[in-house]
Amino acid sequence: MKEFLICDQCNKVFKRALKRDERNQNFYDEIQVIRKHFCSPECSYAYSREHDLPGRFQPGQKPWNTGTKGICKPNSGCFKKGDKPQTWKLVGTISIRIEKKRTQRRWIKIAEPKKWLEYAKWVWIQNYGTIPEGFVVYHIDRNTLNDNIENLKLITRRELLFLNDKKKQGVVNANIHLSLQEVRSSF
């Protein structure tokens, strides 16, 4: 249902759909609501400015929550300098994280702030030194939580690509799994 109204600001005739509660005219007759009708938001704003209607801040007017503390204010006092969050961990903390393919890996915190390293890499670095660029630490038994040095091996990313290729896995595994003596002798 539509009705024709006259804008209270510019006196234009405009058409608008009736709202659900306005369709019951008896409702408005009983409460005798005096409503203003505007053809556009611009006419509504202009009418409010001309008649100094409340509902918006005037220049120099203070908001109602000035001087209050708590939920209505910014968190300028909630986090003090030097306070540590509840999730903060000590350097040396080992945590287990679940990665994309639901693989679990251990991570160790090595420095502040938020410097973490995979535990397998950390074990390799402690035993053999730095990891050269283009190489990764590989778990021989494919158990990513078994970070014993005997289970870790340094391989190239190309070899890792072949190891993760399920079609070629049997052929490459025989070539990749060198004895521990050969790995140690290369470093």
Q: Is the pLDDT of residue 176 over 60?
A: no
pLDDT for res 161: 85
Residue 83 lies in a domain: no
Residue 76 lies in a domain: no
Residues 40 and 108 both lie in one domain: no
pLDDT for res 179: 46
Residues 111 and 173 both lie in one domain: yes
Residue 14 lies in a domain: yes
Residue 77 lies in a domain: no
Of 111, 132, 108, 109, nearest to 120 by C-alpha is: 108
Q: Which domain holds residue 19?
A: 2-50
Q: Render pLDDT for 51-92 as a digit per residue (tens, 0 to 9).
A: 777 666 777 877 777 776 666 555 566 667 778 888 889 999
Residues 113 and 170 both lie in one domain: yes
- The residue out of 50, 68, 85 marking a domain boundary is 50
- What's the domain count of the chain? 2
Q: Render pLDDT for 90-149 as a digit per residue (tens, 0 to 9).
A: 999 999 999 888 889 999 999 988 899 999 999 999 999 999 999 999 998 888 899 999
pLDDT for res 121: 94
Q: Is the pLDDT of residue 22 over 60?
A: no
pLDDT for res 31: 44
Contact 3, 15 (CB under 8 A): yes
Residue 152 lies in a domain: yes
**pTM of the model as a whole:** 0.50
Q: How confident is the model at residue 19 (pLDDT cuts 50, 70, 90)?
A: low
Bigger pLDDT: 92 or 37? 92
Residue 126 lies in a domain: yes
Residues 179 and 115 both lie in one domain: yes
Q: Report helix, strand or coil for 110.
A: strand
Residues 98 and 174 both lie in one domain: yes
Task: Output the CA–CA distances (angstroms, integers) from residue 24 to 1, 14, 143, in the order listed.
Answer: 12, 21, 72
Average pLDDT rounded to a whole number, residues 28-33: 46
Backbone angles phi, psi at 40, to 5 degrees: -155, 160
Residues 46 and 127 both lie in one domain: no
- CATH number for 153: 3.90.75.20
Residues 104 and 179 both lie in one domain: yes
pLDDT for res 182: 53
Largest CA distance in the chain: 98
Residue 84 lies in a domain: no
Residue 59 lies in a domain: no
